[in-house]
Chain A
Amino acid sequence: MSTEAQQDIIEEFALFDDWMDKYEHLIGLGKNLPLIDEHYKTDQYIIKGCQSKVWLRAEQNEGRVYFSADSDAIITKGIVSVLIRAFSGLSAQDIIDAPTDFINEIGLSDHLSPTRANGLVAMIKQMKLYATAFAAQNNA
């Protein structure tokens, strides 16, 4: 089962008929992504596996996990912003349990090259890792 936010994303991307509209949308999302605080753009927060650099940070507030991110490439920023929408604001356990097939449904994994697809996988993995760490903290 997709989460509510994921359903929204799927419906939003279903509106685009061609790749150009889709990428223009992604680029727009990338440009509007709230930037991660500059002092978090360090090796500690960097995600490996992308040709472009991605910094991803998570914090937990009142039982919900919030992500912030940045990238030096704009399309990557668009993608990470979609992921943030899909996962941010959920509980750590919900993030761990959340399915990821919406990526296929919005046609991103098809349209992204293997190197980039790996980056996408690495981003999701990192988000789930953060959630796992918070869940462990919460249960301690």
Chain B
Amino acid sequence: MGFDIDKIRADFPILLRQVHNKPLIYFDNAATSQKPKAVIDALVHYYTHLNANIHRGVHALSQEATDAYEQARDGVKTFFNAQFREEIIFTAGTTHSINIVAHGFRSLLNPGDEIIVGQAEHHSNIVPWQMACDLTGAVLKVLPIDDNGQLQLDALQSLLGPKTQLVVVNHVSNALGTINPIEKIIEMAHQAGAKVLIDGAQASSHIQVDVSALNVDFYTTSAHKMCGPTGVGMLYGKKELLELLPPYQGGGEMIKEVYFQGTTYAGLPHKFEAGTPNIAGGIGFGAAIEYLNEIGLDEIAAYEHDLLLYATEELKQVQGLRIYGDVPLKTAVISFNIEGLHPYDVGTLLDQMGIAVRTGQHCAQPVMDFYGIPGTVRASFAFYNTKDEIDTLVKGVKRAVNMLL
């Protein structure tokens, strides 16, 4: 199917609304994407026709709900090209996914072991590892970025050593939009005998990810950044590694047999899915993936890249505007500041014009410290945005500059 922007925009009911009496221009897609009607309908359909607890009822409704939920897992498995369906753990989102792995590694790490973490990580890919290090005596090493926000691979080579157990980096930086060379990073880490976790939250709806081809050990994402509902996400892990990790939470669903003398755990993926899961969320996640598949991730990536190039060129016309992470390999994210202006002032005025951007540190304080700035204005585009909207943004930025300077 060709890329029909009018048809696509019509799939997103929220794009019709007004903000401060102006048509909404939503450029905060890196924080969360909007939801197409197909996803909203899937949620409504579930609660209207299928609602039942899954994996345990003998009754028809429970079986139908279980089927729908497990079908969603199959959809996710295919989308990321995992080898086995039990390698797909449904979680509450990327943060939860990373915590499952970081928590599991607490029992595998020894004092002096090393974890290498990227300098441009979201806090959720820093703090769980700091906690694991604090408890085990392992050491956190930082893989630095250069002035353009790109990870320095030569530094990785010298950081990797016999003590390195894990390398954890994002696929795409949430603060800058820069795409990391994860193929190379995975290869280098594996050569040194280390495992790799990739935080894919900012990549999944923009770049086709093939976890098997990447040979990645763990890959995490959130459905809500991929047109899916909030509160649901994925942890992909290689089967043998997931089997090695202890469970994260105890409860129902994750057990095989429970005696007061001891309990045996369920197999994958249920070992990591204690309690009643976010059933509607999982089904909505499946619907989101179907929706993205229908449009085609390659089509989406090409269209968004075109938006990125256009916006970059137009924004650069604004005097004093600096883009952080201005490199060729990027998703459609522009993180910028204007000389002499606080990002918060710019963002506040853009909001008054109906333009939603993110301002601040983007949960990546080390990146802001690296550049010595209080934060940035971040405009992040999705495949339902248009060049007309970008024109309005550029006009809005110029207007804000005139008001503030």
Does chain A bind chain B? yes
- B342 touching A73, Cβ below 8 Å: yes
Please pick, from B341, B352, B375, B403, the residue contacting A51 in the complex, using a CB distance under 8 A.
B375
Query: Does A113 have its Cβ within 8 Å of any Cβ on chain B?
Result: yes
Q: Which of B34-81 contact A (CB under 8 A)?
A: none
A72's partner among B20, B348, B359, B374 (CB-CB below 8 A) is: B374
Cβ-neighbour of B342 out of A19, A24, A74, A112 (below 8 A): A74
Bound Cα distance from A72 to B341, whole angstroms: 9
Cβ of A53 and Cβ of B348 under 8 Å apart?
A: no
Contact B403 A24 (CB under 8 A): yes
Query: Closest approach, in angstroms, between the C-beta of B397 and any C-beta of chain A?
Result: 15
Contact of A113 with B348 in the complex, beta carbons under 8 Å: yes
Asked if B360 and A51 make an inter-chain contact with CB atoms under 8 angstroms apart, the answer reads yes
Q: How far is the CA of A77 from the CA of B186 in the complex (A)?
A: 47
Does B253 count as interface, using CB distance less than 8 angstroms? no
Query: Shortest CB–CB separation between residue A75 and chain B, in angstroms?
Result: 5
Contacts of B359 in A (CB 8 A): 51
Q: In this assembly, does B345 line the interface, its C-beta being within 8 Å of a C-beta of chain A? A: yes
B145 contacts chain A at the CB level, 8 A cutoff: no
Q: Which residue of A lies closest to B341 (CB)?
A: A74
Known: A20-B352, A27-B404, A113-B351. A74 touches B375 (CB 8 A): no
Whether B20 pairs with A19 at a CB distance below 8 angstroms is yes
- Which residue of chain B has the shortest Cβ distance to A72 in the bound complex? B342
A113 to B19, CA, bound (A): 12
A125: Cβ under 8 A from any B Cβ: no
Contact indicator A75/B20 (Cβ below 8 Å): no
B291 within 8 Å of A (CB atoms): no
**A contacts with B: majority SS:** helix
Determine if B342 and A52 form an interchain contact, defined as CB atoms under 8 angstroms apart.
Answer: yes
Taken residue by residue from 17 to 36, chain B's Cβ proximity to chain A (1 for < 8 Å, 0 otherwise) reads as 00010000000000000000
Mark B272-315 against chain A: 1 for CB-CB distance below 8 A, else 0.
00000000000000000000000000000000000000000000
**Does B265 count as interface, using CB distance less than 8 angstroms?**
no
Q: Does B321 contact A (CB under 8 A)?
A: no
Output the residue of B20, B342, B352 with the most chain A CB within 10 A: B342
> Using a CB-CB cutoff of 8 Å, which residues 328-366 of chain B contact chain A?
341-342, 344-345, 348-349, 351-352, 359-360
Whether B344 lies near A75 (C-beta < 8 A) is: yes
Q: Which residue of A lies closest to B400 (CB)?
A: A23
B6 → A minimal CB distance (Å): 30
Q: Give Cα distance in the complex from A116 to B360, angstroms.
A: 11
Docked CA distance A24–B404 (Å): 8
A51-B359, A111-B352, A113-B351 are known contacts. Are A23 and B403 too (CB-CB below 8 A)? yes
Cross-chain contact A52 with B344 (CB below 8 angstroms): yes
A76 proximal to B (CB < 8 A): yes
> A73, A111, A115 — which one has the most chain B CB atoms within 10 A of its CB?
A73
Complex contacts, B341 vs chain A, CB 8 Å: 74
Partner of A74, one of B20, B345, B352, B374: B345
In the complex the two chains form, is B342's CB within 8 Å of A23's CB? no
Instruction: Give the CA-CA distance A20 to B348 in the complex, in Å.
Output: 11
Q: Tell me whether B344 and A73 are in contact (CB under 8 A).
A: yes
A116 touching B403, Cβ below 8 Å: no
Residues of B within 8 A of A74 (CB): 341-342, 345, 404
Measured CA separation A4–B254 after assembly (Å): 64
Report Cα–Cα, A52/B341, bound state, in Å: 12
What's the least CB distance linking B396 to chain A, in Å?
12
Looking across the interface, which residue of chain A has its beta carbon closest to that of B361?
A51
**Min CB distance, A64 to chain B, in Å?**
32
In the assembled complex, the Cα of A116 lies from the Cα of B351 at a distance in Å of 12
| A53 in contact with B349 (CB, 8 Å) | no
Contact of B344 among A23, A27, A76 (CB under 8 A): A76
Interface string of A58-77 (1 = CB under 8 A from B): 00000000000000111110
Give the CA-CA distance A115 to B359 in the complex, in Å: 10
CA of A116 to CA of B348, assembled, Å: 9
Q: List 28 A-B contacts (CB under 8 A).
A: A19-B352, A20-B352, A23-B348, A23-B349, A23-B352, A27-B345, A27-B403, A27-B404, A51-B359, A51-B360, A51-B375, A52-B344, A53-B374, A72-B342, A72-B374, A73-B344, A73-B345, A74-B404, A75-B344, A75-B345, A75-B348, A76-B342, A76-B344, A76-B345, A112-B348, A113-B348, A116-B344, A116-B348
Extra inter-chain contacts (16) besides given A75-B345, A75-B348, CB under 8 Å: A19-B352, A20-B352, A23-B349, A23-B352, A23-B403, A24-B403, A27-B345, A27-B404, A72-B374, A74-B341, A74-B404, A76-B344, A111-B20, A111-B352, A113-B348, A115-B360
Chain A residues near B (Cβ < 8 Å): 19-20, 23-24, 27, 51-53, 72-76, 111-113, 115-116
Which 8 A-B pairs rank lowest in CB-CB distance, beginning with the nearest?
A73-B342, A73-B344, A52-B344, A19-B352, A51-B360, A51-B344, A75-B345, A73-B345
